[in-house]
């Protein structure tokens, strides 16, 4: 899996690089339907930001994404 995230600040400036790809590797293959928790920390500049975060499975082409606001 790859975790991808893009941030946009209150002025419309995108994070640089525009999207970060972070490989996600587990010690073993999860069972079907098993929940996998992934935590990370990102350093961002002060102020309000909008984000789009996605998990991409290059083997199947499946994408799961979400978006929201941080830093108000």
- Length of the chain (residues): 72
Residue 68's pLDDT band (cuts 50, 70, 90):
very high
Q: Mind listing the pLDDT tens digit for each residue in 22-47?
A: 778 888 887 888 888 878 788 888 88
Tokens of 29: 């293959």
The per-residue pLDDT for 49 is 93
E-state strands within the chain:
2-9, 20-23, 49-57, 62-70
């Amino acid at each position: 899996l790859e975790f991808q995230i893009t941030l946009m600040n209150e002025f419309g400036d995108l994070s640089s690089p525009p999207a970060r790809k972070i490989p996600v590797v587990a010690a073993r293959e999860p069972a079907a339907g098993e929940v996998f928790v992934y935590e990370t920390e990102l350093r961002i500049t002060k102020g309000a930001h909008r984000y789009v975060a996605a998990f991409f499975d290059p083997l199947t082409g499946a994408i799961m994404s979400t978006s929201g606001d941080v830093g108000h």
